[in-house]
């Protein structure tokens, strides 16, 4: 905790010293998303938010699936893998049921995907529950209570509140936070992180979205790809809201991080250092064309280096080649 505070103080001091020299305005930073920028975290190409906003006005997305498909097809190549699989499934189903909308098509597949999802979840919950045998009694009781409540949710066909992977992991971390064995603690959390997300399992996407309106389902197929401003130092930790503290990330990676420090984000996304370099190389290429600002790239390298516990050490040597 002390180490993190010192790191934030150092970064905050750097920001304060450079506050009057903001490398890019928000408008200029947003403009970079017109140039097929890869996400800092996952490396996938991002969609300009203005394009997404225009799609929100399309009434056809709430109508017949065939009409919605025609609108979304130009963006198929930048959909995340699961969303693309679901999109192809919807295209196949719409050929059989031309009068149905996206919601009605997903409802056709919901039961079989819900069964597949529960099987995956149950297997992971059983592995987590195994650790009750070696946990201190109080922790074991708390874990048992959590697992009973969780099983009640996933086996209820119409739960009051749907299961949340994020909340489950948060509660699990709280239960074992004072566990002496760091190795066992990491093992338990590593297993819990295998729980399917709608971004990495088709069955999770179908179950989560089948209860939503057809236009929302349509937009969710591309929402993960929308480019956003990620606060490198979270706002709750006094992070600034300007380009000294902004990086470009897709909506999914930004929302997944919440307020966690970057090293935790890297744990969930081991390829993040490599993907950050891919984005940097693209920004350097744009800088050579006069589109991106040199100081923004230099600042991004420094901030990422310190906030990632030196895991992300960007090579910006090409920036200085003529």
Per-residue pLDDT, averaged over 140-164, amounts to 90
Q: Are residues 218 and 230 in the same domain?
A: no
Q: Are residues 310 and 294 in the same domain?
A: yes
Is residue 2 pLDDT above 90, yes or no?
A: no
Is residue 12 pLDDT above 60, yes or no?
A: no
Token pair for 93: 């189903």
The H-or-E segment that residue 293 falls in is: none
147 vs 259, residue with greater confidence: 147
Query: Does any domain span residue 75?
Result: yes
At 286-298, the pLDDT tens digits run 999 999 999 999 9
Q: Are residues 198 and 250 in the same domain?
A: no
CA distances from 220 to 84, 151, 229 (A): 11, 27, 19
pLDDT of residue 180: 93
Strand partners, 276: none
Is residue 91 pLDDT above 50, yes or no?
A: yes
Q: Are residues 79 and 198 in the same domain?
A: yes
Final residue before a domain boundary, out of 225, 249, 267: 225
Question: What range defines the domain where residue 253 resides?
Answer: 2-43+226-320
Final residue before a domain boundary, out of 225, 247, 276: 225
Q: Are residues 214 and 73 in the same domain?
A: yes
Final residue before a domain boundary, out of 195, 225, 255: 225
Q: Are residues 97 and 8 in the same domain?
A: no
Q: Are residues 238 and 291 in the same domain?
A: yes
Query: Does any domain span residue 187?
Result: yes
Query: Does any domain span residue 48?
Result: no
Sign for the CA dihedral angle at 22, 26, 31, 36 comes to positive
Query: Does any domain span residue 198?
Result: yes
For the CA atoms of the chain, what is the radius of gyration?
22
Query: Does any domain span residue 104?
Result: yes
Q: Are residues 151 and 264 in the same domain?
A: no
Burial status of residue 198 (CB atoms within 10 A of its CB: 0-12, 13-18, 19 or more): buried
Query: Does any domain span residue 213?
Result: yes
Query: Does any domain span residue 185?
Result: yes
Query: Does any domain span residue 101?
Result: yes
Q: Are residues 67 and 26 in the same domain?
A: no
Alpha carbons 196 and 125: distance in angstroms, whole number: 12
At 28-61, the pLDDT tens digits run 999 999 999 999 999 999 999 999 999 999 999 9
Neighbours of 310 (CB within 10 A): 10
Helices and strands: H and E segment counts in the chain: 15, 2
Q: Are residues 291 and 204 in the same domain?
A: no
Q: Mean pLDDT score of the chain, rounded to an integer? A: 91
Q: Are residues 197 and 61 in the same domain?
A: yes
pLDDT of residue 15: 43
pLDDT of residue 72: 97
Q: Are residues 27 and 161 in the same domain?
A: no
**Helix boundaries (H) for 19-136:** 26-31, 49-56, 65-72, 81-96, 102-129
At 247-280, the pLDDT tens digits run 999 999 998 887 889 998 998 889 999 999 999 9
C-alpha 160: how far from its chain's center? Answer: 25
Segment 166-174 long-range contacts (CB within 8 Å, at least 24 positions apart): 166/258, 168/192, 168/195, 169/193, 169/195, 171/146, 172/128, 172/143, 172/146
C-alpha 41: how far from its chain's center? Answer: 9
- Number of structural domains (the chain) is 2
Contact (CB, 8 A) for 232 and 262:
yes
Q: 3-state DSSP call for residue 211?
A: coil
């Amino acid at each position: 905790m002390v180490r993190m505070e010192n790191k934030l103080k150092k970064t905050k001091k750097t920001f304060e010293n450079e506050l009057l020299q903001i490398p890019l305005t928000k408008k200029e930073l947003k403009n970079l998303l017109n140039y097929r920028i890869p996400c800092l975290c996952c490396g996938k190409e991002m969609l300009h938010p203005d394009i997404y906003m225009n799609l929100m006005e399309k009434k056809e997305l709430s109508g017949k699936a065939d009409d919605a498909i025609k609108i979304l097809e130009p963006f198929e190549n930048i959909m995340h893998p699961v969303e693309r699989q679901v999109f192809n499934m919807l295209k196949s189903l719409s050929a059989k049921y031309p009068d149905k909308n996206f919601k009605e098509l997903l409802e056709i597949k919901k039961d079989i995907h819900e069964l597949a999802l529960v099987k995956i979840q149950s297997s992971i919950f059983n592995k987590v529950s195994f650790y009750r045998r070696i946990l201190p009694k109080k922790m074991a009781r708390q874990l048992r209570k959590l697992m009973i409540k969780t099983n009640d949710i996933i086996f209820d066909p119409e739960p009051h509140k749907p299961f949340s992977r994020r909340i489950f992991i948060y509660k699990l971390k709280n239960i074992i936070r004072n566990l002496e064995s760091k190795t066992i603690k990491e093992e338990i959390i590593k297993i819990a992180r295998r729980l399917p997300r709608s971004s990495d399992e088709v069955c999770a996407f179908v179950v989560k979205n089948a209860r939503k309106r057809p236009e929302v389902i349509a937009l969710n197929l591309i929402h993960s790809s929308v480019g956003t401003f990620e606060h490198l130092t979270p706002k709750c930790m006094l992070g600034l809201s300007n380009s000294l503290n902004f990086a470009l990330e897709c909506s999914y990676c930004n929302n997944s991080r919440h307020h966690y420090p970057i090293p935790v984000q890297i744990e969930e996304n081991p390829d993040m250092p490599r993907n950050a370099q891919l984005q940097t190389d693209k920004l350097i290429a744009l800088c050579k064309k006069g589109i991106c600002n040199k100081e923004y790239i230099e600042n991004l390298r420094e901030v990422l280096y310190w906030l990632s516990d030196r895991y992300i050490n960007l090579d910006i040597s090409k920036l200085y080649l003529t």
